[in-house]
Amino acid sequence: MTLPASTLGVIAAIALMALATYLTRAGGIFVMSRVPIGPKVERFINAMASSVLVAVITPMAVNGDWGARLALAATLAVMLLLHKPLPAIGAGILTAALWRFLVP
């Protein structure tokens, strides 16, 4: 199944893409509104919620260059010390930029 890249075809393809994306955004609450939330489901959700972030971040660290790894390490360190996101993120970006500047 293909659409020609005419104006109408492109708009239709974009609309389908948007629909698929919205279904992922709405699907979670749709399913949950039909699942009774007991303590077990809540424990699952709580552990899963932060695990989403872990699963996003880990490959960045493993597959990234040393600039990306050190950036994450700097963010973690500053975050644990200060508990303030902005300095932590700033330290991360600065670390990556510095590393790539110094180690071409």
- Which residues within the stretch 7-26 sit at the binding site for other proteins (CB under 8 A)? 7, 9-11, 13-18, 20-26
Among 8, 66, 76, 103, binds other proteins (CB under 8 A): 76
Among 33, 38, 102, 103, binds other proteins (CB under 8 A): 33
Q: How far is the CB of 85 from other proteins (least distance, A)?
A: 4
Rounded CA-CA distance 104/101 in Å is: 6
Rounded CA-CA distance 4/74 in Å is: 48
Q: In angstroms, how far is CA 23 from the centroid of its own chain?
A: 18
Rounded CA-CA distance 95/47 in Å is: 30
102 lies in the binding site for other proteins (CB under 8 A): no
Q: How far is the CB of 8 from other proteins (least distance, A)?
A: 11
Q: How far is the CB of 31 from other proteins (least distance, A)?
A: 6
Rounded CA-CA distance 75/86 in Å is: 9
